[in-house]
Amino acid sequence: MNATEAQKHEVLVLGAGYAGLAAAIQLAARTRKRGDVRVTLVNPFEEFTERLRLHMTATGQETAEMSIRELLEGTGAVFVRGWVTALDVGAKTVRIDDDRVLGYDTLVYGLGSVADTVAVPGVDAHAHTLNSAQDAVLLADRLARLGGGTVVVAGSGLTGVEAAEEVAERYPEFQVTLLSRGEPGAGMHPRAKAHLDAGLARLGVRVLCGVEVTEVRPDSVELADGSSIGPWLPEPVLTGPATADGAAADSVSIALLVVLETLSPLERAVFVLKEVFAFSYAEIAEAVERAEPAVRQAAHRAREHVRARRPRFTTDRAVQRDVAERFFAAATGGDINALMELLSPDVTLWTDGGGKVRQALKPVVGLKSVAGWFAALGTASYQGVEPHEMRAEFTSINGGPGVVFHAPDRVLATMSFDFDPEGRISAIHNVANPDKLRAVTEGIRRELA
């Protein structure tokens, strides 16, 4: 090192995030002509992480990779790759993980932040963060392997909102729930917030405000008010009589309720008032306190959404009942071959234990997987109750055939079914969440006219 080099003012920038990278480039550019300043940028990775695009990486989208060395080319700034392990303010030195020691005259501390995965129990073991490119890649792999279910996003800052919307758009088979202590976008301009709210509603993201996460479990998120978010299914409703007309039964079907849950609150209210109760647009406008043109638009959006996502097939209800009874007999007997004859090739089992009853952590998909699940379950104890202690009651649930499983002292679960055009079971809804079984336990039945 010559005398001129030794006399240079050393500027050391730690961290090549947005702030650190911008600081290094601008400092190098502004002092380059002076020749008496050297800017060094330290970062543990060679690639620049665009944190504003991590939600895209997390949903499997390719984003451009940018080399930090290439970004610094021509600026005069020097790049050093390594982890900062120690800082000695008195000696004005920084230690790098390979035992290098860098001196400085001016220090720019831009190491940013990391997600706290310790404060809330279970986060480190059962949750993903979007703090780095590596985090986003891990989440992308997890989402790609899930195949469906519930995705909970905790935090309604811009990263949380963008992540929720991106997951909902890329994976329409997921039920996405956004948890927030306050209103998402509360500090935004009214027009910007309206755009944000419209995007969440359009994509069917459920937004829960005023909540706080207290624990993350393998299959649920526990909230401070005692409730939990887990694999989501609508509350089962006992219906009757069994011979009710198809239109009335369809109005409370599990399939329709799942679709309705993905609508915005306004769209859901307008759809139900118009399609189920036959209100006029003027009456609906008065009820929801909106202008009639806005109500008509909401009704159109809701109808299109429901038409696109609800099942398109109906089969004779007597046939459905017969198939359901044969399915139950095959399951309790462990007859996997008989089960496979009754199931659609792409059948899906959805379970909801609400984080309080052990259930499948994700939907069970496919003929062999679902048949194998029930063949094994049918001869095993369930919630500590042996098979000979259970009683199965065939009834009508949400307008279709279903089963209520009773223990000697309580209702254990309900099961209801969707069917394909050939009358085979295409979806099974198993609700064991005790919070959703209160009406069933009390025997409350909704009559269908």
Per domain, the residue ranges of the chain are: 3-109, 123-229, 239-309, 317-447
Q: Which two tokens stand for residue 429?
A: 């809804």
Q: Which two tokens stand for residue 135?
A: 């985090």
Distance between CA atoms of residues 93 and 91, nearest Å = 6
Distance between CA atoms of residues 108 and 114, nearest Å = 18
Reported as a pLDDT band with limits 50, 70 and 90, residue 245 is: very low
3-state DSSP assignment of residue 405: strand
Angle (CA) 439-440-446 rounded to 5° is 75
Q: Which of 30-44, 240-254, 294-308, 320-334 has the lowest mean pLDDT?
A: 240-254
Distance between CA atoms of residues 341 and 335, nearest Å = 10
Give the closest residue to 61 by CA, choosing from 145, 142, 137: 137
Q: Are 106 and 98 in contact (CB under 8 A)?
A: no
Q: Give the pLDDT score at 213.
A: 93
Distance between CA atoms of residues 76 and 12, nearest Å = 13
pLDDT: which is higher, 107 or 275: 107
**Mean pLDDT, residues 351-372 taken together:** 81
Q: Are 11 and 104 in contact (CB under 8 A)?
A: yes
3-state DSSP assignment of residue 241: coil
Q: Give the pLDDT score at 75.
A: 92
Rg, Å, the chain Cα set: 29
Reported as a pLDDT band with limits 50, 70 and 90, residue 64 is: low
Cis peptide bond N-terminal to 408, omega within 30? no
Q: Please name the residue that has the structure tokens 């009754």.
A: 342
Res 248 pLDDT > 80: no
Would you give the DSSP letter of residue 35? -
Question: What is the CATH topology of the domain spanning 3-109?
Answer: FAD/NAD(P)-binding domain (3.50.50)
**Edge to edge, what strands does the sheet with 174-180 contain?**
149-154, 174-180, 206-209
- Looking at every residue in the chain, the average pLDDT score rounds to 82
Q: What is the CATH number of domain 123-229?
A: 3.50.50.60
Are both 3-109 and 123-229 of the same fold?
A: yes
Res 358 pLDDT > 90: no
Question: What is the CATH topology of the domain spanning 239-309?
Answer: Arc Repressor Mutant, subunit A (1.10.10)
CATH class of the structural domain 317-447: alpha beta
Neighbouring CB atoms inside 10 A of 312's CB total: 7
Reported as a pLDDT band with limits 50, 70 and 90, residue 23 is: very high
pLDDT tens profile 400-411: 788 899 999 999
Instruction: Report pTM.
Output: 0.55
CA distances 296 to 165, 166, 300, 382, Å, are 25, 28, 6, 48
Give the closest residue to 32 by CA, choosing from 11, 46, 18, 16: 11
Handedness of CA 236, 237, 243, 244 (dihedral sign): negative
Q: Give the pLDDT score at 381.
A: 84
Q: Which two tokens stand for residue 99?
A: 């035992």
Distance between CA atoms of residues 426 and 420, nearest Å = 6
Residues in the chain: 449
Phi-psi region of 123 (alpha: psi -120 to 50; beta: other; left: phi over 0): alpha
Q: Please name the residue that has the structure tokens 């998120």.
A: 221
Q: Give the pLDDT score at 167.
A: 92
Distance between CA atoms of residues 344 and 417, nearest Å = 12
Res 325 pLDDT > 80: yes
Distance between CA atoms of residues 68 and 80, nearest Å = 10
**Mean pLDDT, residues 231-247 taken together:** 57
Give the closest residue to 385 by CA, choosing from 414, 406, 370: 406
Q: Which two tokens stand for residue 403?
A: 């089963």
Distance between CA atoms of residues 18 and 28, nearest Å = 16
pLDDT tens profile 252-298: 444 455 555 556 667 767 777 776 567 788 888 887 778 888 888 88
